[in-house]
């Protein structure tokens, strides 16, 4: 069975209309989740917690899309 891992992370953006973080060292990693539903719940919780700051954004990254299990090496492994 293929795992579909999701990473939830976020932080303060330089400009709320763009996706550039103000300080990469301050990015908060909420966690890695085994499915989209649990990642979405975590994302929603963090987004609601920081709703008063228009510059704060949280994202869900689909980690399973970074790796193609059918290929001997994923694109990220080829970089090393």
Q: How many domains does the chain have?
A: 1
Which pTM was predicted?
0.78
Whether 1 is covered by a domain: the verdict is no
User: Would the pLDDT of 56 be above 60?
Assistant: yes
Closest CA to 29 of 50, 52, 58, 2: 58
Residue 14, Ramachandran bin (φ over 0: left; ψ between -120 and 50: alpha; else beta): alpha
- Residues 58 and 10: their CA atoms lie apart, in Å, by 4
Q: What is the pLDDT of residues 17-49, one digit of tens each?
A: 999 999 999 999 999 999 999 999 999 999 999
Q: Which tokens is 53 given?
A: 């700051």
- Residues 42 and 78: their CA atoms lie apart, in Å, by 31
CATH number of the domain enclosing 20 = 3.30.70.2400
Whether 69 is covered by a domain: the verdict is yes
Instruction: Determine the 3-state secondary structure of 72 from DSSP.
Output: coil
Range of the domain at 71: 6-79
């Amino acid at each position: 069975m293929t795992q579909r891992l999701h990473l939830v992370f976020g932080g303060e953006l330089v400009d709320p209309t763009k996706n550039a973080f103000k300080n990469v060292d301050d990015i908060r990693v909420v966690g890695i989740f085994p499915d989209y539903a649990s990642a979405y719940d975590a994302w929603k919780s963090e987004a609601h917690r920081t709703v008063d700051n228009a510059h704060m954004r949280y994202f869900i990254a689909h980690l399973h899309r970074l790796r193609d299990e059918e290929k001997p090496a994923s694109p990220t492994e080829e970089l090393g």
